[in-house]
A and B are shown apart, each in its own frame.
Chain A
């Protein structure tokens, strides 16, 4: 049981390049989300999904796209990277069913450290 797996761990991009950050989970959690962590800003929600085929925007969605075709995977796409997207990105999941998941904790991956030059 691996939990939440993020790849890659580190990535350097040039301005304007595109890439996809991968997130996979094996806990059958309905809810998946992406956060970015920046010094002094804490963790800010980018996008989230409450199930396959359903996605919604968080606090800072601009410049990022997501899709959710399966329960297990929730990739985050940067279409044209900018230096302002230099950050550590975390994928987090939790149960979402209200009967079981009303106060269920978020399970985080170990992050992807992205640098855009």
Chain B
């Protein structure tokens, strides 16, 4: 059973559009929610992350929105560019005293058309 559910599986937007990727979780013990970006042939790399006591975090064109009561969080990419084309993974971390393991969502393949 997938503990972190991510949607959509794939997404195509035009340059300048605002793709939105959504994630949902059930385990209230998760204490940290990062997003990773992966380019073809490479390993994922940390993009942006949020703690559950914060409702929004922005870093450049990337924004995480977090809804603790709904147990959902999402990634928004403002003014998307072709260079943003990649696979995006949301993740959730089990509490540190539970091992601090990162559980990933299924991934979203984003394509930004010129």
Contact = CB atoms under 8 A, between A and B. Distances in A.
Interface string A50-90: 10000010110000000000000000000000000000001
A58 B101 contact: yes
- Please tell me the size bucket of the interface on B: 20 to 34
Contacts, number: 58
Interface string A78-117: 0000000000001010001010001101101111000000
A88 to B, nearest CB: 9
B42 to A, nearest CB: 6
Given A4-B43, A41-B106, 10 more contacts: A37-B107, A42-B106, A44-B104, A45-B101, A48-B99, A90-B44, A98-B96, A105-B49, A108-B44, A110-B43
30 contacts: A31-B100, A33-B101, A35-B104, A37-B107, A40-B106, A42-B2, A42-B6, A42-B89, A42-B107, A43-B44, A43-B104, A43-B107, A44-B104, A48-B101, A96-B100, A102-B96, A103-B32, A105-B34, A105-B45, A105-B49, A106-B36, A106-B46, A108-B43, A108-B44, A109-B43, A110-B42, A110-B43, A111-B41, A111-B42, A111-B43
A-B pairs, top 8 by smallest CB distance, nearest first, are: A108-B43, A105-B46, A43-B104, A42-B106, A42-B104, A42-B107, A110-B43, A108-B44
